[in-house]
C-alpha cells in the first residue's frame, strides 16, 4: 500500500482499471473525509450519509470497470458530483427536506420553538460552530450547498460550478447571498462567532 500513496489519483484510477484493487482503497482513504463530510452536511444524518457514501463508491467501481470514466485529472470533483447527485436523488425520493437534528437527536425546530432564551444563549456561546452550522441549514438549498462545498469540502468555485452544473459567476453570487443571509441570521440569533 505504501508504494501507492505517492501516486496521483489518475495513476491510481488506471491501476484499479488494470485490476489492482489496492489502488481503489488508497483513493477512498485519500478522499473519504472530504467526500463524506460534504455528503453528511447535505443530508444531516450520519447513517444516511454512510449509505450514500457506500452507494457512491459502488457507482464509482461500476463506472471504472465499465470503462466509462473520462474525468482524467478530476477524480475527487467527479466523485463529489456523483455524491451530490445521490443526495439530490434521495431528497427527490422522499419528496421533502431532511429533518435537522441536534447532537442529542432532537428535531432542531422543536429545540428552537421551546428553548428558554437564557439557555439558548448559553448553548450558542458554548457551541458557536455548531450553531452556525445549524443556521446554514436554514439557508435556501442553492446557497447552503455552495457554502458547504466551499467551506467544509474546501472546493474551488470552478469545481463547485462543475458539481452543481452552473457558471462560476452563479456559484459566486449564491455564495455572496448565502453569506449575507448567514450573517443576518447570526446577528438575529445573537450567535457569538
Predicted pLDDT at 50:
92
CATH of the domain at 66: 1.10.1740.10
Predicted pLDDT at 54:
92
The whole domain housing 181 covers 108-188
Residues 17-36 have pLDDT tens digits of 999 999 999 998 999 988 99
* pLDDT beneath 70: ranges in the chain: 1, 72-73, 94-130, 191-193
pTM of the model: 0.61
Q: Classify 107 as helix, strand or coil.
A: strand
Residues 72, 119: one domain?
no
Looking at beta carbons, which pairs linking 107-114 to residues 24 or more positions away fall under 8 Å?
108/134, 108/137
Backbone angles phi and psi of 18, in degrees to 5: -80, 0
The domain total for the chain is 2
Predicted pLDDT at 115:
40
83: cell is: 455524491
CATH of the domain at 112: 1.10.10.10
- d(Cα 183, Cα 123) in Å, to the nearest integer? 18
End position of a domain, from candidates 45, 70, 94: 94
- d(Cα 108, Cα 100) in Å, to the nearest integer? 6
Q: Is the dihedral of CA 71, 77, 79, 80 positive or negative?
A: negative
Amino acid at each position: 500500500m505504501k508504494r501507492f500513496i505517492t501516486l496521483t489519483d489518475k495513476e491510481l484510477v488506471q491501476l484499479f482499471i488494470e485490476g489492482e484493487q489496492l489502488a481503489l482503497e488508497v483513493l477512498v482513504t485519500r478522499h473519504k473525509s472530504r467526500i463524506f463530510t460534504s455528503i453528511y452536511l447535505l443530508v444531516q444524518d450520519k447513517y444516511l450519509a454512510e449509505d450514500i457514501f457506500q452507494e457512491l463508491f459502488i457507482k464509482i467501481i461500476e463506472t471504472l470497470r465499465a470503462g466509462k470514466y473520462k474525468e482524467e485529472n478530476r477524480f475527487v470533483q467527479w466523485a463529489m458530483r456523483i455524491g451530490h447527485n445521490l443526495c439530490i436523488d434521495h431528497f427527490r425520493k422522499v419528496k421533502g427536506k431532511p429533518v435537522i437534528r441536534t447532537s442529542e437527536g432532537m428535531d432542531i425546530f422543536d429545540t428552537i420553538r421551546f428553548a428558554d432564551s437564557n439557555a439558548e444563549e448559553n448553548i450558542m456561546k458554548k457551541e458557536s460552530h455548531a450553531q452556525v452550522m445549524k443556521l446554514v441549514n436554514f439557508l435556501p438549498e442553492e446557497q447552503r450547498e455552495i457554502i458547504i462545498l466551499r467551506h467544509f469540502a474546501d472546493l474551488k468555485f470552478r469545481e463547485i460550478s462543475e458539481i452543481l452544473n452552473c457558471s462560476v459567476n452563479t456559484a459566486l453570487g449564491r455564495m455572496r447571498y448565502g453569506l449575507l443571509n448567514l450573517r443576518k441570521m447570526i446577528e438575529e440569533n445573537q450567535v457569538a462567532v
